[in-house]
Amino acid sequence: MEHIAQNEAREALEAIERAHRGVTAEVGLPRWYWWLLAAGWVVLGVVGELSPAWFATVATVAFGALHTSVASRLLSGRRRTGGVQISIETAGRRLPFVVIGMLVALVALTVATALALDADGAEHASVYAGIFGAAVVGFGGPEILRVLRRWARA
């Protein structure tokens, strides 16, 4: 094995680190996931407004189950594309917790928005709150997740 200079070794390690950061930056949820989640958010707002409470509850649980089945395949980041399979250590074990925490916060934001709109006398407050929540999820989901991942070092 030939001798490697210290600066060459440092450059090689930096290249490896850049490649690792590039792969981990790709770990996450695809854009279509966020827009489907946003569409579900709006549908739940409409269902909550126009249907009996029992049906809205069943719809919410069904949406949660469907979301869980889709997200469980995507959250590890290992199945995002067919071309790359990465280890869970690279994907990050905290990612599912970050996404779940983010979604809980967005649900709380949607409920708070609906309550504020209803207190203000707005008609169809849950629909408008669902649209607001969907806009936040659809337009900002990947960026919010990226920031939260950085904060949580996930």
| Domain residue spans of the chain | 6-152
Residue 106: predicted pLDDT:
86
AA letter at 31: R
Rounded CA-CA distance 37/29 in Å is 11
AA letter at 22: G
User: pLDDT-derived band of residue 150, with 50, 70 and 90 as boundaries?
Assistant: confident
pLDDT at 44 over 80: yes
Residue 24: predicted pLDDT:
61
DSSP letter string over 70-115?
HHHHHTTSTTS-SS----HHHH-TTHHHHHHHHHHHHHHHHHHHHH
Rounded CA-CA distance 142/28 in Å is 8
* Higher pLDDT, residue 76 or 11: 11
Q: What is the pLDDT of residues 59-89, one digit of tens each?
A: 888 888 887 777 777 765 555 555 555 555 6
Residue 82: predicted pLDDT:
55
pLDDT at 116 over 90: yes
